[in-house]
Structures are given as structure tokens and as C-alpha cells.
Amino acid sequence: MSEENPPEILSMRGGILVMKGVSRFLSATRSRSFIETPPKPKVKKKMPEKENTFKCSLKTIEIMKKETSFSRSEIETLYKIFKKLVVLNRRKSQQGKMNSTQTAAVIGKPNAVQEGIDRTIFREILHNTFDIVTENMLMDRIFCVWDKCNNNLISLESWFKGLDLFLRGSLDAQIEFCFAVYDINADGFITKEEMFQLLKNSLIKHPQEEDPEESVKDLVDIVMKKLDADKDGKVSLEDFKSTIAEEPLLLQAFGTCLPSDRAKETFLSTMK
């Protein structure tokens, strides 16, 4: 060892270096620990669909049990289906509003969206669920007869009563329904003109026919003779009922407006 650097001095220097290293380490650690980390952004939790949104009230259940043939469980199932269709209808309506901002700006505040099923969704239900494929006029007539409130939407009440007739309606109820569908102007009679309107789009047109409408008129004359029991030139509900009692196949003479037995069985099986 050199006398200029005795062991005591070297030991002191080494201790100082160690302490400085420790100080730096502790200082660095403290500085890191005190750095304020930015708060995590609050992520809005997607609220699940409230259970009570699709829960049928006891009042509705009791009313529908009295006015339809559905059981409590069936009413609850049909209520949920209706509500889901309403949500679908509402989304479609909102999409339409987004695509017509100019109109909304002119009109001002938009009207409250009414709860119900519109013609487009109703048409899809008839096609896809009940196998009712028919021309536009008859489809529109079926919608109008279902729409008891005349507000261009199938309300909850109309939904239940329409399905009750479709699925479990008596023959008398089905006769009255079909008659109402075919009675285009709702005056209580089916006239030749109405028969012509209903049949002209449903018949297959042959290219060789010079005047297809003449074939429709001939068919109307034949059907009128069959249905017009009192021979007054028009078909009343009483005429229609008496004819169907003898010829059940004429129930849907002017177009399909009731579901097939297979479609009814399939739909009823989904409610079990």
C-alpha cells in the first residue's frame, strides 16, 4: 500500500462511492414511484338489454287470456317476439331518418316513433313464417284487416288477435277475416269490380291470349254465380258464409290470406 493512500482513506472513499450508488438507486426508485400515471379511461359498459323491456305485464297477460286462446306462457313468448320486431322496426325507422336529414330540418322536431310492426316487416312475417306468398294488393289488404287501430302499424293488441285467428281461429272467424280482406272498400259487399281487381294479378297470363282480361271477367262471372246466394249482383257476408258451408275450398277463392296447416304447426311448436 502506498503511504499517500492509507487503507482508512481508501475504505472511506469506497464507502462514499457505495453510498452515492445507493442514493442514486433510491432516488431513481423514488422518482419513478412518484411519477403520476395517467388515469385509465373509463370504459362505458354496454348495458345489457333490460329484462323488463321484454317482460309482459300481468295486466296484458290477463287481458289476452280473456280475449284469445293463448296460454300465459304463449302470451309471454308472443310478447317477446313482438317487442323484438318493434326494435327492428325502430332501427329501420331511425336509419330512414338519418338518410333524410334535409326533410327533418324542414319539418323540425321528429314525431315520436309509434310502437308497432310496419308493412315491410309484416310482409316478411307472412312470407317467411306463414308461407303466404301473394301479390301486393292482397298482402296490403291482409295488413289492413290486421291493423285494427288504422295507424299503419300492427299494434300489440292486433298482433295477438291476428295470430289467434291465424293459428286457432274458428271457421266462422276465418270466413269473416277472408271476407274482410276481399271487401276492398270495406262496404260490406264483394262486388264484381273487387273480384276482378283481386283475380287479375293472380292468374297466369298466356302469350297467345289476345285479351287476358276477358278471361278474368269470365272467371268473375262464374265465381259470382257461385257466391251470390240471393242473386242481387254482389256477395254479402251471409252469401259468403252459406257458400263456404257447402264448398269450404272457396274460402280463399280470391287469393291466399291464411297460413297452411304445416306453417301453423311449425309456429306453434316454437312456443312450447
Q: Consecutive 10-residue runs of the chain (272 residues): their mean pLDDT?
A: 49 47 44 47 52 81 96 96 91 66 44 78 94 90 91 94 97 97 96 94 62 86 94 96 95 94 93 80
User: What dotted CATH number matches 51-269?
Assistant: 1.10.238.10
- The pLDDT value given to residue 70: 97
Q: What is the dihedral of CA 69, 75, 81, 87, to 10 degrees?
A: 120
Cα(261)–Cα(54) distance, integer angstroms: 29
Instruction: Output the pTM of the full model.
Output: 0.73
Secondary structure of residue 155 in the 3-state scheme: coil
What's the CA angle centered on 79, arms 143 and 173, to 5 degrees? 45
- H/E stretch holding 190 reads strand 189-190
Region of 108 on the Ramachandran plot (φ > 0 left; ψ -120 to 50 alpha; else beta): left
